[in-house]
Amino acid sequence: QQQKFRTTPHDLQVLEGAEAMMRCEVANVAGAVQWTKDGFALGFSAVIPGFPRYSVLGDRKQGIYNLRISNASINDDADYQCQVGPARLNSAIRANAKLTVISPPASIEIKGYSHNSKVEVRENQDLQLKCIVANAKPAAQIVWYRGNVEYKPEKREDTVEESTAKRFTTTSSLKLKPGPDDDYTEYTCQARHKALSPDMPMRATVQLSVLYPPGPPYIEGYSAGETLRRGQTVELMCRSRGGNPPAQLIWYKNGSQIRMAYRTSGRLSENIYTFTAEAGDNKARFRCEASNVMSQNPLKAEVELSVLFAPTHVTVMGPTEARVGDIVPLTCTTAPSNPPAEIKWMVGGRQVRNATSKTIVSPEGGWTTTSNITAVVEPNKRSLVVICHGLNMQLTENVVSTHTINVLYPPAPPLISGYMEGQIIPAGSVQKLLCVSSGGNPLATLTWYKNDKRINSVIRAADKSVSAEITILANVSDNQAQYRCEASNSATEIPLFQSTTLSVHFAPETVKIRIEPEELRPGMEATIICDSSSSNPPAKLSWWKDGIPIEGINNTSKPGLWGGTVSTLEFRVNVTQEMNGQVYTCQSANEALQRSAHEAVSLDVLYRPKFVPPPSSTAVGVEGESLQVSLQTRANPTPVTYKWTKDGTTIPQDGDHRIFADGGSLNFTRLHRDDAGIYSCSASNSQGGATLNITVVVEYGTTIKSVSENIVVNPGEDAMLSCTVEGKPLTEEHVKWERVGYDMTVKTSTTFANGTSYLHIKDAKREDVGNFRCVADNRVDNPTNRDILLIVKCAPEIAKAPTLLRAASGTGERGRLPCRAQGSPKPQFIWRQDKKDLPINRTYKYEVEERKIDSLTYESTLIVDKVAPADYGAYECVARNELGEAVETVRLEITSQPDPPLSLNILNVTHDTVTLAWTPGFDGGLKASYRVRYRMADREQYKYIDGLPNSHKLTIGGLRMNTLYLFSVMSWNELGQSSYLPDLARAETKGLELMPAELTEDSSNTPNLV
């Protein structure tokens, strides 16, 4: 049987991202089966290489070869073919199928607007809405809606373009010309696509906001012809419908803007103006204007009000004073009234009939009424009362005004009491004068005058009289002053008056002193004159100095101000310098009043400067510190010019210099020893000058300028060491000699000359060898010292320290044997082995290095190259000079573990630390390190700590207080370690130290560490 398709592949449409299954089943399959995509063979395997989402599902035995494509994408959109190859007389067969992958739109938008945004457009203005549906496969369709109704315009432009491979973007454009009916209208574009669910449409919506002018305004709350009363509340409502934006409503009254506040609701605007009707509102025109941005001219509505009101008041005009028999004209005028008011008169309690009146239009609204009458003043009356009534008959309201006319009578002449002419008034006392006038209508007006100048008074009125009282605090101006009281009223043409003249005793107010000549100098005669101001009676003058009266001359008097007398008194003096500043006082006394005035003068005597003697003519300062030399002078005039000089050179007055002058002060900001010397201060003023010299001494600390070099003497000779010192002050007491552990009183003495101290040592011996210290200290600065070595010639002595008598080296290495000796003069070193001198520096085997440790100590090191077993053993070191020789054995050994340290010492102990130091032993020829062990005395357990490199000292911390510790030390190198020293070094830590009681707030507190 021939192979054939049992199930033929057919075209398939699938949503992007879904799974596609293309079926292919073959009956009687004999050949190989594979799928192709757009002619490209996918292979015979169930898993297709390069296509991870592709696989062939089925069973060869059953002939099933279904192609499954997972997560389908646009790239899978192609023509597929199921191919069965030829085999065993079976020809090849093929079947085609097309896979279409559809993809919903990626987005939808109305270009230029976000979803649900508002589009503002003017009425009848062209508007284009462009809807874009992007990246769909196949291309989407676009449907427009106006509101919820599908919108099918006559003209609509739709385009489709392939935006990316196999994806299409659809564009649809609407052209609109919106009108007012389109305001608030929504336009929606919706994408239709087979890949979109009908339940979830893809839409973009905009809402139109069409700008158009508002409707005309209308007014509610008042109808034409309606009558209002003054005080009635009026509410005028202006409304306008339509318009976008809503209308702006403004109220105007008689052309003037009165209210702009309005409110809107949707497309309705409203402006409510509430007010209380007043007279001015009668015939007032209230206009409401409506407008928005689309209005070419505001739309208007207008009403005119009619308000009834009575006059608020009436005004009577006419004279307020008149004489008996006078004919007085009177006028009464009403305030505005609507309708016009009527006027009624009452004169002296009787109604006036047949009075004429006239009415005129008021610019404030309504009408004003005016009436004129005349009245005759009758005798035996003090006043005439006139009453005017204003009546609005329609409103039954009445207003009244009263006008009083006073009838005039002259008063009686005034009378003054309280003072009799000729009576004496002391200055400073209080004097009262009373003026009284009786009768008259109105009562008299009283006015007081002092020498024709009006003054204030206290007025008191009774039923038929009036008084005016003045209170005078008597002073010089009141003497012979005339006080006048005038009485007048409307009935007097010339005031009535009475006057009196006062007599006042007063003391002089001022005293003035004159000096002739004005400038005083020693040796001249001066006249001092005292002038007293006016006094009544005349003042008595006198001169005083330090409370003692001085006899004056030329006492004269002459008439003065205010009717008093001025007086003069003088005296003469011979001027001396000491009189400068002396005070003379002039007293001017009024004995009648027992009062006096004083004035003092201080004599201003001009003289040249004179220095105040300073405490010392010498100023002492310390080098490096500041110093100020201050001088004072006495002089007149006091502006004194100072000039400081040294050796003819002027000291600057600029504070930027280290040495500068400031008036009578000489300032050294930082003294230098070269500043010492004599400084001259010159002081001068307009009268002359003076000079004073000051010696400046600068003290500075001692310094040792030089010492004698190392002194070498023979045994038994006397030695002399010298030390030259510089400093100020400097005496023999400021230089001392010392030496630790040496009794300076036995063999030494000192001498001092010209800054040099000499130390004399008698009968010098070997035990005198060493450093003598010269110490210079004058207590101005820190002490200084220098060591001077005294060397007494002596035979050599070789040091016998264990570390210097042994050396170690490995076989084949270089061995170094030290030999250290003291002697003077310098010793010569000789090395021997087996009693034979070694051939030093004559072969490569032996070398010697020598070095000077100090002026008395020298060291020779024997170097043995390539040490062989035969080189180990004892060597002799010989140190020799002219006074003798010394011999010592130094052993060369093979390198080994080190020896234990020679000793262990306690250096310092605190409450929790102990500081140790040890003397190292032989290091075995290698670099040695050290380890300390320690324990509490009552414990067996040790703690260990390694020493620091190249150090023979160690501080152990973290110890307990008041605890006894035991310490030992060992050494080690790379070949091994030594034993520990016995636990003989011991130390007990300290307890806490109590702080002083005054440093603590409570003595019971726990002690603190210090």
- The token pair at 446 is 């009283």
Helices (H), 734-790: 744-747
Minimum mean pLDDT range among 24-38, 323-337, 988-1002:
988-1002
Give the residues across from 978 on adjacent strands: none
Q: Vertex 997, ends 996 and 1000: CA angle to 5°?
A: 100
When pLDDT is averaged across residues 472-492 and rounded to a whole number, the result is 91
User: Residues 702, 777: contact at Cβ < 8 Å?
Assistant: yes
When pLDDT is averaged across residues 593-613 and rounded to a whole number, the result is 91
With cut-offs at 50, 70 and 90, classify the pLDDT of residue 993. low
CA 468 vs. chain centroid, Å, equals 68
Output the pLDDT for position 422. 86
Encoded amino acid at 15, one letter? L
Query: Closest by alpha carbon to 201, among 137, 151, 133?
Result: 133
Give the residues across from 95 on adjacent strands: 82
pLDDT in tens, 420-461: 988 999 988 999 999 999 988 889 999 999 999 999 999 999
pLDDT in tens, 89-129: 889 999 999 999 999 999 999 999 999 999 999 999 999 99
- 53-56 contacts: CB < 8 A, separation 24 or more? none
Helix (H) or strand (E) holding 68: strand 64-69
Instruction: Report the C-alpha gap between 125 and 178 in whole angstroms.
Output: 7
| pTM score over 0.85 | no
Query: 475: which DSSP letter?
Result: -
Query: Closest by alpha carbon to 416, among 383, 439, 449?
Result: 449
**What SS3 class is residue 476?**
helix
CA 150 vs. chain centroid, Å, equals 70
When pLDDT is averaged across residues 549-573 and rounded to a whole number, the result is 89
Instruction: Report the C-alpha gap between 979 and 193 in whole angstroms.
Output: 102
Whether residue 994 has pLDDT greater than 90: no
With cut-offs at 50, 70 and 90, classify the pLDDT of residue 995. very low
With cut-offs at 50, 70 and 90, classify the pLDDT of residue 463. confident
- Largest interatomic CA distance in the chain: 181
pLDDT in tens, 777-807: 999 989 999 999 999 999 999 999 888 899 9
Supply φ then ψ for residue 127, to 5 degrees.
-135, 130
Output the pLDDT for position 118. 94
Residues 6+ apart with CB under 8 A from 500: 416, 419, 421, 433, 482, 483
Whether residue 1000 has pLDDT greater than 60: no
Whether residue 31 has pLDDT greater than 70: yes
Query: 279: which DSSP letter?
Result: G
- The token pair at 965 is 């510790």
Supply φ then ψ for residue 59, to 5 degrees.
-150, 120
Supply φ then ψ for residue 870, to 5 degrees.
-70, -15
Whether residue 1009 has pLDDT greater than 70: no
pLDDT in tens, 746-772: 899 999 999 999 999 999 998 888 899
Q: What is the rounded (10 degree) CA torsion for 131, 136, 141, 146?
A: -40
Whether the ω angle into residue 138 lies within 30 degrees of 0, i.e. cis, is yes
Helix (H) or strand (E) holding 97: strand 93-102
User: Residues 493, 408: contact at Cβ < 8 Å?
Assistant: no
User: Residues 25, 57: contact at Cβ < 8 Å?
Assistant: no
When pLDDT is averaged across residues 64-72 and rounded to a whole number, the result is 94
Instruction: Report the C-alpha gap between 554 and 535 in whole angstroms.
Output: 19
User: Residues 647, 689: contact at Cβ < 8 Å?
Assistant: no
Instruction: Report the C-alpha gap between 341 and 399 in whole angstroms.
Output: 10
Output the pLDDT for position 363. 84
Residues 6+ apart with CB under 8 A from 113: 119, 206
Give the residues across from 172 on adjacent strands: 131, 158
Output the pLDDT for position 996. 43
Instruction: Report the C-alpha gap between 986 and 966 in whole angstroms.
Output: 4
pLDDT in tens, 355-405: 889 999 988 888 999 999 998 888 888 888 999 999 998 888 899 999 999
Query: Closest by alpha carbon to 322, among 401, 372, 385, 388?
Result: 385
Instruction: Report the C-alpha gap between 271 and 294 in whole angstroms.
Output: 20
Query: 502: which DSSP letter?
Result: -
Q: Per 3-state DSSP, what percentage of the chain is helix, strand, and coil (rounded to 5)?
A: 5, 55, 40
Instruction: Report the C-alpha gap between 392 and 992 in whole angstroms.
Output: 113
Minimum mean pLDDT range among 72-76, 322-326, 646-650:
322-326
With cut-offs at 50, 70 and 90, classify the pLDDT of residue 1002. very low
User: Residues 36, 54: contact at Cβ < 8 Å?
Assistant: no
Residues 6+ apart with CB under 8 A from 266: 246
- Give, in order, the Cα–Cα distances in Å from 956 to each of 900, 937, 948, 962: 20, 16, 12, 15
Give the residues across from 306 on adjacent strands: 227
Supply φ then ψ for residue 432, to 5 degrees.
-110, 140
pLDDT in tens, 260-288: 888 998 889 999 999 999 888 888 899 99
When pLDDT is averaged across residues 467-485 and rounded to a whole number, the result is 93
Q: Which domains does the chain have, with CATH numbers?
A: 4-102 (2.60.40.10), 107-211 (2.60.40.10), 218-308 (2.60.40.10), 314-407 (2.60.40.10), 415-505 (2.60.40.10), 511-602 (2.60.40.10), 607-698 (2.60.40.10), 708-785 (2.60.40.10), 794-893 (2.60.40.10), 903-988 (2.60.40.10)
Query: 295: which DSSP letter?
Result: -
User: Residues 685, 652: contact at Cβ < 8 Å?
Assistant: no
User: Residues 826, 858: contact at Cβ < 8 Å?
Assistant: yes
User: Residues 706, 724: contact at Cβ < 8 Å?
Assistant: yes
Output the pLDDT for position 855. 81
When pLDDT is averaged across residues 492-498 and rounded to a whole number, the result is 90
What is the chain's mean pLDDT, rounded? 91
Query: Closest by alpha carbon to 498, among 577, 419, 383, 596?
Result: 419
pLDDT in tens, 202-223: 999 999 999 999 999 999 999 8
Helix (H) or strand (E) holding 724: strand 719-728
When pLDDT is averaged across residues 696-722 and rounded to a whole number, the result is 92
User: Residues 365, 280: contact at Cβ < 8 Å?
Assistant: yes
**What SS3 class is residue 633?**
strand
Instruction: Report the C-alpha gap between 561 and 533 in whole angstroms.
Output: 8
Query: Closest by alpha carbon to 432, among 379, 385, 472, 485?
Result: 472
Find tokens 């080296």 and name the residue: 809
Residues 6+ apart with CB under 8 A from 548: none
**Rg of the Cα trace of the chain?**
68
Find tokens 């073959």 and name the residue: 26
Instruction: Report the C-alpha gap between 663 and 668 in whole angstroms.
Output: 14
User: Residues 171, 132: contact at Cβ < 8 Å?
Assistant: yes
